[in-house]
Amino acid sequence: MAHHASAKKRIRQSERRRTRNRLVLTTVRTQIKKLRRAIEGGQRDEAQRLLPGAIRGLHKAVTKGGVHWKTAGRTVSRLVRAVSALA
């Protein structure tokens, strides 16, 4: 257990950040999973509908600090290539 006031504050901060990051990351992962399922199923219209939401979610995760910007860029690039390969 923390004894210093600064250590107690650090615990509170990290808990808030952890819950925010988990929310952002689980939302993004769900969007990406839905998109990948549509791609694997060959559902072009569904994939094109889900793509902007997944991209927006990844960019938001970068802004919130949940995902590194290069990881997000690489993931977006791969998703866009996969969706355009369906067309």
Distance CA 9, CA 13 (A): 6
pLDDT digits (tens, 9 = 90+) for 1-54: 789 999 999 999 999 999 989 999 999 999 999 999 999 999 999 999 999 999
The structure's pTM equals 0.82
Q: Any idea what the CATH number is for the domain that residue 42 is in?
A: 1.20.58.110
What's the total number of domains in the chain? 1
The whole-angstrom separation of Cα 23 and Cα 67 is: 12
Domain enclosing residue 37, as ranges: 5-86
